[in-house]
């Protein structure tokens, strides 16, 4: 089940490259590319590099360590890489942007107990 978190000042991130943000205890990356906001894994699956130090080209985020490339829409790495990153859904309501993050087991459990 997804929990939606509001992204404060999403427009302000437009010229900031790849940035890290924490939502509900989970740290993820956000970036704008060609007027679309994208949300994805914090770490590169190859050797754990922080993708906040990466950059975007041709619709992909490029890892700063060994240049693995990941599609910003599907999360797929280039074919020879055999890896992928997680992509988080983004939605826009009125003028605000939200990112959807799966609830962890304990979040779901504790949430159901308090309802």
Which residues lie near ligand FES (CB under 6 A)? 44, 46-47, 49, 63, 65-66, 68
Nearest residue to 68 (alpha-carbon basis) of 59, 80, 58: 80
- Of 13 and 61, CB closest to ligand FES: 61
15: helix, strand or coil? helix
What span, in angstroms and rounded, lies between the C-alpha atoms of 19 and 45?
Answer: 18
- Of 81 and 107, CB closest to ligand FES: 81
- Of 49 and 90, CB closest to ligand FES: 49
Minimum CB–partner distance for residue 77 and ligand FES (Å): 9
80: helix, strand or coil? helix
């Amino acid at each position: 089940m997804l929990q939606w978190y509001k992204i404060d000042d999403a427009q302000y991130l437009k010229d900031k490259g790849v940035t890290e943000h924490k939502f509900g205890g989970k740290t993820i990356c956000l970036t704008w590319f060609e007027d679309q906001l994208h949300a994805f894994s914090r770490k590169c699956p190859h050797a754990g590099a922080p993708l906040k130090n990466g950059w975007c080209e041709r619709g992909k985020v490029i890892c700063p360590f060994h240049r693995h490339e990941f599609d910003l829409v599907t999360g797929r790495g280039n074919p020879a890489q055999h890896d992928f990153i997680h992509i988080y859904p983004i939605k826009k309501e009125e003028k605000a942007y939200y990112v959807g993050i799966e609830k962890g087991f304990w979040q779901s459990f504790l949430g159901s107990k308090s309802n």
